[in-house]
């Protein structure tokens, strides 16, 4: 089965979509309507628009969420292939993304973090294009724009500003003009938002926008599920980091800097999840893009195909374990 995912055939994308439906069936069967909390007026406007397209059907929103996750997984995979972050073009990143999103139904439910993930992937795409772009002004402006738009949808995503500035500093030589372009991109969504709220006489909503909290589990409903998930992710991460430390030293300097940026994105994503006022498990979906990129390294050991196969079936076993022992 690993050979199917490692195959770069367009038909593999169809298999990825089928895999996404299979592992998210449990979450689709217990779907619920998404709701915006106080201060999430950007997300509330999006829900209002989607309600016209999908109606008030929790089932429709659940199917739409699985479709979005599949698109994000394949899109992220195509970005990796385009910029040659791995030695070979495969669908391993798509598999990792969908497998991680299936570890708990809350990770695949429609939420502001699922929308923010689209903007995170857009930001990654713009960052990775900095090397080959003839004029980087467009990419730099878009980086700031997408990051601030993500913060408007979910305030704790404002930590992405730190990531964007770190990545630009790492991937580009310091040019004062370029940094001004990034800052202009950051302030532009805020400018449009203020104009919109002022024209609709709803400027008071800006006072409700900053919403931070501590999103940590207060109790464990199923010890078997929690321990199994924690141990499984630690082992998966160990396998990925083992492969990274043996392969990245051979990669070009720019590719290594890209992976440093991705690692920093994963750290920032954890901060976004922890300092969020949203549901504890649902906020972890913000970690999917960066975490799936790093964990994909576990299946790309160039020296041992047998180890790749073991890692792949271990990931499948972890998905199956979480499906069986998922707390009700």
Question: What pTM, to 2 d.p., does this model score?
Answer: 0.90
Q: What is the pLDDT averaged over residues 132-152?
A: 87
Mean pLDDT of 83-98: 85
Q: Say what the pLDDT of residue 261 is.
A: 92
> Pick the residue with more confidence: 250 or 150?
150
Helix 137-153 and helix 176-199, axial crossing angle in degrees, nearest 10: 40
DSSP type of residue 39: T
pLDDT higher than 70, residue 4: no
Q: What angle do CA 255, 164, 79 make, to 5 degrees?
A: 45
Bigger pLDDT: 76 vs 302: 76
Predicted confidence (pLDDT) at residue 163 exceeds the cutoff of 90: yes
Q: For residue 24, give the nearest of 71, 72, 76, 67 by alpha carbon.
A: 67
> Which whole number is the average pLDDT over 179-197?
89
Taking only the tens place, the pLDDT of each residue in 23-68 is 888 777 777 777 777 667 777 888 888 887 777 777 888 888 889 9
**3-state DSSP helix/strand/coil % of the chain, to nearest 5:** 75, 0, 25
How far is residue 39 from each of residues 50, 132, 145, 178, 212, measured CA to CA in Å? 19, 39, 20, 32, 10
Structural domain range at position 14 = 2-325
Mean pLDDT value across residues 71-89:
87
| Structural contact between residues 308 and 300, judged by C-beta atoms closer than 8 angstroms | yes
Confidence band for 290, pLDDT divided at 50, 70 and 90? very high
Across 174-184, average pLDDT: 90
The first and second tokens of residue 121, run together, are: 């992937």
Q: What is the pLDDT of residues 317-328, one digit of tens each?
A: 998 888 887 766
Two tokens at 27? 């979450």
Task: For residue 11, give every residue at least 6 positions away whose Cβ sits within 8 Å of its Cβ, in sequence order, or none.
Answer: none
């Amino acid at each position: 089965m690993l050979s199917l995912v490692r195959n770069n055939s367009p038909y593999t994308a169809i298999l990825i979509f089928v895999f996404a439906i299979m592992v998210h069936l449990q979450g689709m069967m217990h779907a619920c309507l998404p709701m915006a909390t106080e201060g999430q007026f950007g997300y509330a406007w999006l829900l209002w628009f989607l309600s016209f397209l999908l109606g008030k059907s929790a089932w429709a929103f659940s199917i739409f969420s699985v479709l979005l996750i599949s698109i994000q997984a394949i899109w992220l995979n195509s970005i990796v292939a385009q910029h040659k972050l791995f030695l070979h073009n495969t669908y391993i990143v798509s598999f990792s993304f969908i497998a991680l999103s299936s570890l708990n139904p809350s990770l695949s439910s429609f939420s502001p973090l699922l929308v923010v993930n689209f903007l995170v992937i857009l930001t990654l795409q713009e960052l990775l294009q900095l090397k080959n772009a003839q004029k980087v002004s467009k990419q730099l402006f878009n980086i700031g724009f997408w990051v601030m738009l993500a913060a408007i949808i979910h305030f704790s995503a404002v930590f992405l500003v730190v990531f964007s500035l770190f990545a630009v500093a790492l991937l580009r030589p310091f040019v004062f003009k370029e940094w001004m372009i990034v800052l202009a991109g950051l302030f532009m969504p805020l400018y449009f938002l203020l104009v919109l709220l002022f024209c609709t006489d709803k400027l008071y909503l800006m006072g409700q926008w900053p919403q931070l909290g501590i999103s940590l589990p207060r109790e464990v409903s199923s010890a078997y599920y929690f321990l199994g998930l924690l141990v499984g992710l630690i082992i998966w991460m160990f396998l990925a980091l083992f492969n990274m430390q043996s392969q990245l030293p051979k990669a070009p300097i720019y590719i290594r800097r890209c992976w440093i940026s991705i690692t920093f994105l994963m750290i920032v994503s954890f901060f976004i999840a922890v300092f969020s006022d949203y549901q504890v498990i649902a906020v972890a979906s913000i970690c999917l893009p960066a975490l799936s990129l790093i964990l994909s390294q576990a299946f790309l050991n160039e020296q041992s195909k047998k180890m790749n196969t073991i890692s792949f079936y271990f990931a499948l076993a972890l998905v199956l374990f979480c499906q069986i022992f998922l707390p009700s």
